A = this chain, B = another copy of it.
């Protein structure tokens, strides 16, 4: 096994992924586990980092994501948008001489504010790896879906939607919970949810899904896909896409396909790009920028 030049840790709320990265930016080893920020006791981050080094190599480490929040290892202040890779490299928050946290980004636009932690690496990585153009609209579906406008290779502004969190909450805690056990795929029920959302509705068809089951107009197995269509369709509608607008989607293939269908129906064009490749390109570029700065 070739020696890693540095380790990159995508350290989120629930999950964590470690990449051992070589001098040429290639991934030598990677591993995903559930040691997200919420699973790590306060004060236990140094020993977690030591354990990662014991497994992947005793080399420098860049951490990104919620690890830099108040609930994480140490709080790394947000950098204001617009911000690019050079700003992230210059803003690395060093815990010791070989362990740093990548800052998150913030945007303040009139009365509106927004924040991200971790997603910025994928966004900027996608552009630096030419997976998306320097001026682009990027979408990262998930618990909190990010819609980012790139301008000249930097994150110009972004908007977060609570789409995935609402879906999970409805499936666990709402009066629809008992009905939301079905699989979500890009089929007729998902499309019916998109149709209702395109009509400008969300709060009414949500209840309608329950009524539909009670009245025998909808089978229970379709409820989860319908609700997913409603939420993703509403998410896309809120972005007010211009007809023909190209959206680059950073997601796993399954969720990426649902968003692609919703965006296409709303008149946009889509390209799904590999979010892991984007992350690796982004973090490798930050590492390189850091050394250029140093």
Look across to chain B and name the residue whose beta carbon is closest to the beta carbon of A116.
B211
Closest CB in chain B relative to A96 CB, distance in Å: 26
Stretch among A25-33, A42-50, A161-169, A267-275 lining the B interface: A161-169
Query: Can you list, as one digit per residue, whether each of A205-216 has a CB less than 8 Å from chain B (1) or not (0)?
Result: 111100110110
Interfacial residues of chain A within 190-243, with CB under 8 A of chain B in the complex: 192, 200-208, 211-212, 214-215, 217-218, 231, 234-235, 237-238, 240
Among A4-12, A55-63, A125-133, A170-178, the stretch that binds chain B is A170-178
Contact A172 B173 (CB under 8 A): yes
State how many copies of this chain the complex holds.
2
Tell me, yes or no, whether A112 is within 8 Å of chain B by CB.
yes
Residue A277 CB within 8 A of the other chain: no
A94 smallest CB distance to B (angstroms): 23
Could you say which residues of chain B place their CB within 8 Å of the CB of A106?
Answer: 211, 215
How many interface residues does A have (CB within 8 Å)?
45
Q: From the candidates B111, B170, B201, B217, name the one contacting A238 in the complex (CB within 8 A).
A: B201
* Residue in contact with A202 in the complex, picked from B113, B175, B202, CB distance below 8 Å: B202
Is A159's CB within 8 Å of the partner chain B?
Answer: yes
**Interchain residue pairs with CB less than 8 A apart (8):** A111-B192, A113-B215, A160-B204, A162-B203, A165-B175, A169-B169, A200-B237, A200-B240
Q: Does A257 have its Cβ within 8 Å of any Cβ on chain B?
A: no
Contact flags (1/0) for A65-93 with B, using CB distance below 8 Å?
Answer: 00000000000001000000000000000
